[in-house]
């Protein structure tokens, strides 16, 4: 069995186990209704299955929020189109430019793709193409379709667990509290097992997407892309975001977070960056991606032999349209996002009470509006 066929076997095996686990949820629900509640009658078993399908149906039709900026006129979009043409696939119907570090594809019927501007300074154009080939590898394997369904199953189980917890706490009668407890334990147990199996499946499809990207881009180019991208986004998320929070606490704000973080990153010792990256690359049972070293070895590279670069002259950031303006606008977006988080944390600490008069509110918006007026009145 070749290496690729062995990888495909692992993917299908974990998917088969996940499918059987999913079906067993409703088998168990039917048994509970048939044996425990209905005393051997079929109708209660069917009712339990229908009740169990409600959170799944809700999760399937729940749509995600639109994120980032859609710009099909940017050179970045043209690069995406070129990669789609390579794979003989349609261009994703929506292409987002994001203020964050992520590069992703998603979607079941309508495909979506996104590129975070924070990642572009630390990789070359060829390295970006290699990463995009990895992402299109997920389209190639229908990973976004299967992954989306599995994620919604997981979400439905978590929703059921929360419902059971609420029923247990607020139930006026012991029998309702008992039902709530059973739902909570049942959903939590299945949710835990699902998370483990889905994580195993997710790691296998990452290996397959890596294989596709390494085959099409060359393993050296993709290996460097993976290393440079992983190192920089780790640094950006740790240093950049904490700096924004620190400045907000001082009543200040950054003008361009992308400039500031990349300039600081370029002054670091690249051997030390690589060492810290591998030391902190722990992985785990619930990790959606394999360890970086394992990924590099899987495509036939020695992690120790790949040189990390923290200074790139012609980076993929040049593919952005109106780069400086976009980065400044996105810096404002990130600042506002963390400002809201800080305000929310402060409001939770005060149990939703106004800092001026002590009146309590249910939502952050109501509290902030009241505090603004209350401050003026005082």
Q: What is the SS3 assignment for 43-67?
A: HHHHHHHHHHHHHHHHHHHCCCCCC
Question: What is the spatial distance between Cα 327 and Cα 152, in angstroms, rounded to a whole number?
Answer: 33
Our CA dihedral for 272, 274, 277, 283, rounded to 10 degrees, sits at: -140
In the sheet with 112-116, reading across from the earlier edge strand, the strands are 69-70, 94-98, 112-116, 103-106
Half-sphere exposure of 34 (CA within 13 A, CB side): 10
Per-residue pLDDT reduced to its tens digit, 109-122: 888 899 999 999 99
Is 1 a residue whose pLDDT tops 60? no
| Cβ atoms of 93 and 135 closer than 8 Å | no
**H runs (alpha helix) in the chain:** 3-31, 42-61, 75-86, 125-140, 143-170, 174-217, 219-235, 241-249, 257-266, 270-280, 292-298, 323-349, 364-377
The closest of 45, 41, 43 to 30, measured between CA atoms, is 45
State in Å, rounded, how far the first CA of the chain is from the last one: 77
Per-residue pLDDT reduced to its tens digit, 156-188: 888 888 887 877 777 677 777 777 788 888 888
Question: What is the spatial distance between Cα 267 and Cα 239, in angstroms, rounded to a whole number?
Answer: 14
Name which residue leads in pLDDT, 354 or 333.
333
Question: What is the spatial distance between Cα 207 and Cα 73, in angstroms, rounded to a whole number?
Answer: 32
Question: What is the spatial distance between Cα 59 and Cα 56, in angstroms, rounded to a whole number?
Answer: 5
pTM: 0.86
Three-state SS for 112?
strand
Per-residue pLDDT reduced to its tens digit, 128-167: 999 999 999 999 888 888 888 888 888 888 888 888 787 7
The closest of 286, 281, 232, 4 to 103, measured between CA atoms, is 232
Per-residue pLDDT reduced to its tens digit, 189-218: 888 998 998 999 999 999 999 999 999 999
- What's the pLDDT score for residue 110? 85
User: Residue 377's pLDDT band (boundaries 50, 70, 90)?
Assistant: low
Question: What is the spatial distance between Cα 35 and Cα 285, in angstroms, rounded to a whole number?
Answer: 35
- What's the pLDDT score for residue 273? 92
- What's the pLDDT score for residue 306? 93
């Amino acid at each position: 069995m070749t290496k690729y066929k062995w990888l495909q076997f692992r993917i299908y095996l974990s998917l088969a186990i996940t499918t059987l686990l999913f079906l067993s949820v409703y088998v168990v629900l039917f048994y509970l209704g048939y044996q425990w509640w209905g005393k051997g009658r079929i109708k209660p078993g069917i009712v339990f299955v229908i009740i169990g399908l409600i959170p799944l149906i809700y999760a399937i039709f729940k749509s995600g929020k639109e994120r980032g900026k859609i710009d099909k006129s940017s050179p970045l979009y043209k690069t995406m189109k070129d990669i789609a043409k390579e794979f003989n696939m349609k261009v994703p119907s929506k292409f987002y430019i994001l203020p964050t570090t992520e590069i992703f594809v998603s979607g079941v019927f309508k495909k979506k793709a996104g590129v975070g501007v924070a990642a572009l300074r630390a990789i070359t154009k060829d390295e970006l193409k290699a990463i995009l080939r990895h992402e299109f590898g997920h389209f190639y394997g229908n990973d976004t379709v299967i992954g989306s369904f599995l994620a919604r199953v997981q979400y439905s189980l978590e929703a059921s667990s929360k419902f059971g917890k609420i029923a247990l706490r607020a139930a006026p009668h012991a029998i309702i509290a008992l039902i709530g407890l059973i739902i909570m334990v049942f959903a939590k147990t299945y949710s835990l097992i699902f998370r483990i199996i889905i994580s195993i499946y997710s790691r296998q499809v990452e290996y397959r997407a890596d294989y596709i990207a390494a085959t099409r881009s060359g393993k050296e180019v993709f290996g460097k892309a993976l290393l440079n991208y992983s190192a920089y986004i780790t640094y950006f998320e740790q240093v950049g975001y904490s700096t924004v929070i620190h400045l907000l606490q001082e009543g200040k704000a950054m003008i361009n977070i992308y400039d500031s973080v990349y300039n600081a990153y370029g002054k670091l010792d690249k051997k030390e960056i690589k060492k810290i990256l591998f030391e902190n690359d722990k992985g785990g049972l619930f990790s959606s991606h394999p360890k970086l070293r394992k990924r590099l070895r899987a495509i036939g590279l020695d992690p120790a032999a790949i040189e990390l670069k923290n200074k790139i002259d012609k980076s993929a950031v040049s593919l952005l349209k109106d780069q400086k303006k976009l980065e400044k606008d996105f810096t404002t977006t990130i600042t506002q996002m963390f400002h809201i988080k800080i305000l929310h944390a402060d409001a939770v600490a005060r149990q939703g009470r106004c800092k001026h008069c002590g009146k309590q509110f249910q939502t952050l918006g109501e509290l902030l509006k009241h505090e603004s007026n209350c401050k003026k009145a005082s």
